[in-house]
Chain A
Amino acid sequence: QVQPVQSGAEVKKPGASVKVSCKAPGDTFTTSGISWVRQAPGQGLEWMGWINTHRGDTNYAQKLQDRVTMTTDTSTRTAYLELRSLKSDDAAVYYCATDYGGKGRFEYWGQGTLVTVSS
């Protein structure tokens, strides 16, 4: 099994926060990185940022920088995406993908997590 496994669907109100988890394959987690990509309904793919799963350093998309935090827990091989101050246009499927060395090649993808934002 090389595909990451993500947490389940979430329903949030505008202004709330969401935290999505991504459990990655054990033999690659600490030598790899994780990028997060989202896809609004019927739309294309948007890269949100990358985290080095060994050192924890991050590279966020500038448009989300004020609202996003990516973290990892190496003991459980899990990466997390937290997005704060949710707006209606944050409603999307959120994917994690392995991104070795932050080279931007998204080799293995999680199954996706649907985040609904609704009052």
Chain B
Amino acid sequence: DIQMTQSPSSLSASVGDRVAITCRASLSINNYLNWYQQKPGKAPKLLIYAASSLQSGVPSRFSGSGSGTDFTLTINSLQPEDFATYYCQQSYSTPRTFGPGTKVDIK
């Protein structure tokens, strides 16, 4: 199974900040990497697919980059509604595996 790791596990930031979350795969997954946002008590929401493609309806302040084993989710100008937990997930092979999550909270 492909192991996914994320860093940091949590971070505190202010509205307007630029935030970057990194995700690493245990082997090369090309660009088969998706990012999700989850708020408490809610289902995850797809933000980015194929490492850098913005899902329809997702604000352009979210962006993704990377290929191979190292990926980054960037949130430009953090908004109040962005405080949540973010997960990366590989879709290169089954079983599909997720990172452990990065919790973004208010400083």
Please give the residue numbers on chain A whose beta carbons come within 8 Å of chain B beta carbons, in ascending order.
Answer: 35, 37, 44-47, 50, 59, 61-62, 95, 97, 103-107, 109-112
The reply to whether B34 and A45 form a contact with Cβ atoms under 8 Å apart is no
Partner of A47, one of B43, B95, B101: B95
Q: Using CB atoms and an 8 Å cutoff, list the residues of chain B in contact with chain A.
A: 32, 34, 36, 43-46, 49-50, 55, 87, 89-92, 94-101
Known: A104-B34, A106-B36. A44 touches B46 (CB 8 A): no
**B44 x A106 contact (CB < 8 A):** yes
The answer to whether B45 and A109 touch across the interface, beta carbons within 8 angstroms, is yes
Nearest B residue (CB) for A98: B46
Task: Determine how close the nearest CB of chain B comes to the CB of A111; give it in whole angstroms.
Answer: 6
For the complex formed, measure the closest distance between the CB of B102 and the CB atoms of chain A, giving whole angstroms: 11
Chain A residues closer than 8 Å to B99, beta-carbon distance: 44
Q: How far is the CA of A109 from the CA of B97 in the complex (A)?
A: 17
Which residue of the partner chain, among A44, A97, A107, A111, contacts B98 with CB atoms under 8 Å? A44
- Interchain CB contact (< 8 A) of A45 among B49, B55, B94, B98: B98
Asked if residues A45 and B87 are in contact (CB atoms below 8 Å), the reply is yes
Contact A104 B89 (CB under 8 A): yes
Known contacts A44-B98, A47-B95; is-contact A105 B46 (Cβ 8 Å): yes
User: Beyond A106-B34, A106-B46, is A44–B89 a contact (Cβ under 8 Å)?
Assistant: no
Contacts of A50 in B (CB 8 A): 94
Q: Which residue of A lies closest to B98 (CB)?
A: A45
How many angstroms between the C-alpha atoms of A59 and B95 in the bound complex?
9
CB of B43 within 8 A of CB of A44, answer no
A17 CA / B95 CA spacing, docked (Å): 23
Q: Which residue of A lies closest to B45 (CB)?
A: A109
| B43, closest chain A residue (CB) | A109
Inter-subunit contact A103/B43 (CB<8 Å) = no
Contact of A109 among B32, B44, B49, B91 (CB under 8 A): B44
Q: Considering the complex, give the chain B residue whose CB is closest to the CB of A110.
A: B43
The distance from the CB of A86 to the nearest CB of chain B, in whole angstroms, is 20
